[in-house]
Structure 1
Amino acid sequence: MSLYYYLLFVFINLLMCSYASGIWVSASGGVIPDGAVIGGVDNENRPLFVVRARVDDNVVPGKLVTTFAYSHIPWYGKEIQRAQYEVLINGPNRWVPCRGKNIPSNAFRAGVESGTAMYICRGHVLGVRTVGKVHSGYGICYLPFAGNEHSISAYEILVEDANC
């Protein structure tokens, strides 16, 4: 194989893996771009989309329901709202069981809080599967729901496929 074809092969694989890993698209006002990753459903069976938003100097994963114009982010015991957010599109959509700090090496990194990696989790609060954040330093899934931040130690975490 010539060097040209080898480099072309490597470049195409890098593009495919980057695309498979998803991209974050800026949005506001409840807008959801095509290809958005769904992480759960709310208590009225509306899809909950995987988003992240800036809180001070942090980038924090959370959820969005299209009927609301704001993202919902778990933050220090509360469910806070942000008008500006980023939506995960064409990203991984494989969820694996997780408990505590046993975060898989292929967990999809979605943000940072105080210099610590944040991942996307989902779990149940009052019978509703909702989306939130895992702070890698604590190994807890924090879920925004009904105005509060709920914490659970057994949850599902979003992972990337190992072939990239």
Structure 2
Amino acid sequence: MTFFVSSPALAQTQFGWTDASSSTVDTTIGQVPADAYKAGYNGTPSVPDDTLYACRGQYKDSVQPGKLWKSWCHIGWGGKEVLLNEYEVLVTDPGKMTLSWIPSATGALKPANLVYGGYNDNSEGYGGYPLDLCRVAYKGGVHPGKLWQDMCHIGWGGKEVYLNEYEILRLDANL
């Protein structure tokens, strides 16, 4: 497990990423780890098959956060929706910490203790820039993605969609 959080003290809490694509959990039939973090939904929040989990995967010398749906990690990258079959899933221990979605928008100040989902590649001089987890309401669902250049980017319908009103994920430790 690798921890990504903006505060080293909070990184000692029980949350992290697990390699779900090669674990004993059979993601090919829609299973996810029991402690996987539910980050959104793809239409109807009460329908189990519509639940979206926060995932991340390696892509073009970076680690990109996205949404796990139908056994694929969907990310937005380069104007397209990219589907990754090797990925990690965000897992939590609710007894030791709480994750909170905080409303935000382009230009807003960001709170402390944001959950980093990955990092950008070194193209265009960004050299490992951290990508916070975000989510947006879009097309009847709530979709997790990455915060990049002050917008929440998601993969949807074969394209990368980016919106300027979003929520960002913050870690609140129960220490």
The bucket for the TM-score relative to the shorter chain is 0.7 to 0.9
Which of 50, 64, 78 is the equivalent residue of 2:54? 50
Give the whole-Å Cα distance in 2 for the aligned partners of 1:62 and 1:94. Answer: 17
Distance 1:17 1:105, change over 3 A: closer
Superposition RMSD in Å:
2.2
Residue number in structure 2 paired with 1:85: 87
Distance 1:113 1:15, change over 3 A: closer
Give the whole-Å Cα distance in 2 for the aligned partners of 1:103 and 1:162. Answer: 18
Counterpart residue type for residue 51 of structure 2: P
Is residue 143–residue 154 contact of structure 2 (8 Å, CA) maintained in 1? yes
Seq. identity, %: 32
Give the whole-Å Cα distance in 2 for the aligned partners of 1:42 and 1:56. Answer: 26
Whether 1:131 and 2:144 are equivalent positions in the alignment is yes
Is residue 67–residue 145 contact of structure 2 (8 Å, CA) maintained in 1? yes
Which of 63, 75, 78 is the equivalent residue of 1:59? 63
Aligned-partner SS, 1:105: coil
TM-score of the superposition, structure 2-length normalised?
A: 0.75
Per-residue CA shift, 1:12-50, capped at 9, x if unaligned? xx9986233x11100224541111111111125411000
Aligned-partner SS, 1:94: strand
Residue 69 of structure 1, CA deviation = 2.4
Residue number in structure 2 paired with 1:5: none
Alignment map for 1:134-145 (pairs within 5 Å):
134-135=147-148, 138-145=149-156
What is the aligned length? 146
Unaligned runs of 5+ in 2: 1-7, 22-27, 122-127
Is residue 10–residue 171 contact of structure 2 (8 Å, CA) maintained in 1? no
Which of 13, 16, 30 is the equivalent residue of 1:19? 13
In the TM superposition, structure 1's runs of 4+ consecutive aligned residues that sit over 6 Å from their partners are none
Give the whole-Å Cα distance in 2 for the aligned partners of 1:140 and 1:131. Answer: 12
Residue number in structure 2 paired with 1:4: none
TM-score of the superposition, structure 1-length normalised?
A: 0.80
Is residue 25–residue 87 contact of structure 1 (8 Å, CA) maintained in 2? yes
Residue 130 of structure 1, CA deviation = 0.8
Unaligned runs of 5+ in 1: 1-13
